[in-house]
Amino acid sequence: MEAWSSSDMRATPQGGPLSPLLANVLLDEVDRELEKRGLNFVRCTDDCNVYVRSQKAGERVLKGLRKLYDKLHLKVNETKTSVSAARGRNFFDYCLWGGQGKEVRRAVSKKAIETFKTRIRQKTKRSGGRSMQQVVSDLRNYLLGWKSYFGMAQTPGKFRELDEWLRHRLRAVQLKHWRRGRTMYDELRKMGANPEQAARIAANSTRWWHNSSMELNRIIPIAWFDRMGLPLSHNPNVSNRPVRTRMPGGVGGGRSDNLTVSYPDTEQLLALLEQNTQLTEITRQLGPRIQELTLEIHEHILREEGTSSLLPRRLGQAE
């Protein structure tokens, strides 16, 4: 769920440094109430997910939260608030999915993946008039940022799929840059293609997407993109699949008892959690004074507008 301030109040700009701080101050009472009830929840600024065991329990908790938000003179964003299954529910572009057994894992939401593909299409237009090195350089910063943000996702298979799609698209861009069949033939021969392979690809010189798979995968391999500096969107050492081993008479597979699966950025995550704990403690210590300043600013704005305050007076009182 997401909270809004009353419509006749001025708000801080979304994404500004003051916005999350004020949200933590105002919604600290909500956190304490949820902790008091022993509920599992996660909140970041004004976005909050509460996890319960049934639909009926979810409706009961939501009803209580509405009353609590009303006391704080905040409105619930109805378009983003609902009682629904936890799996598939978006939270800052992450969602949950069911792994083996009853294990719950983190995944990138479908909306975030579609946004990723849309951005890649914009950055890799085949009529951009740029060299492949320039295209890859433009992609690099975006891919590194995307990988860093979704580093906690436990879907290496989906990341590999996105990497394959991206390389397919870049191969199509390279063919479009060569344009003519004769140029394609000469360039492919320079890259190590035999005459038959080069001739087959050059014969379909206008079918860039169709040509950018199959034989071209071996002529322009992953190592070629590595030399260009194209980063992977996944950690190749992480997998959620059973280990496959080749055995005499066929291929067998099983999960090794000694296999230790490590997920990326674990140490960084722990450090961030520790920093967040320290920040929360500092915020609580400074909370009363910040509340007083917030009330004074609010009252000053309302005096200029000639209206009365709707904020509860207790916000200005130190605990």
Predicted local confidence at residue 72, as pLDDT: 83
Q: How far is CA 279 from CA 272, 275, 282, 285, 290, in A?
A: 10, 6, 5, 10, 14
- Range of lowest pLDDT (121-135, 192-206, 218-232, 300-314): 300-314
Q: How confident is residue 121, by pLDDT bands cut at 50, 70 and 90?
A: very high
Residue with tokens 């792994």, as numbered in its chain: 99
Q: What is the mean pLDDT of the chain?
A: 75
- Cα 82 to Cα 153: distance, rounded to the nearest angstrom: 24
Cβ atoms of 96 and 88 within 8 Å: the answer is yes
Predicted local confidence at residue 279, as pLDDT: 66
Per-residue pLDDT tens digits for 68-98? 888 888 888 888 888 888 787 888 888 888 7
- Helix (H) or strand (E) holding 247, with range, is strand 243-247
- Cα 115 to Cα 181: distance, rounded to the nearest angstrom: 34
The dihedral through the CA atoms of 176, 179, 184, 188 has a sign that is negative
Q: What percent of the chain has pLDDT over 90?
A: 11
Predicted local confidence at residue 2, as pLDDT: 55
Position with higher pLDDT, 1 vs 114: 114
Map residue 15 onto helix, strand or coil: coil
Q: How confident is residue 273, by pLDDT bands cut at 50, 70 and 90?
A: low
- Cα 142 to Cα 117: distance, rounded to the nearest angstrom: 12
Cβ atoms of 204 and 210 within 8 Å: the answer is yes
Quick one: 252 exposed, middle or buried, by C-beta within 10 A (0-12, 13-18, 19+)?
exposed
DSSP codes, 112-174: HHHHHHHHHHHHT-TTS---HHHHHHHHHHHHHHHHHHTTT---HHHHHHHHHHHHHHHHHHH
Quick one: 228 exposed, middle or buried, by C-beta within 10 A (0-12, 13-18, 19+)?
middle
- Cα 298 to Cα 295: distance, rounded to the nearest angstrom: 5
Instruction: Return the closest-CA partner of residue 55 out of 89, 83, 90, 88.
Output: 83
Predicted local confidence at residue 251, as pLDDT: 35
Point out which residues pair with 43 in neighbouring strands. Answer: 48
Position with higher pLDDT, 289 vs 116: 116
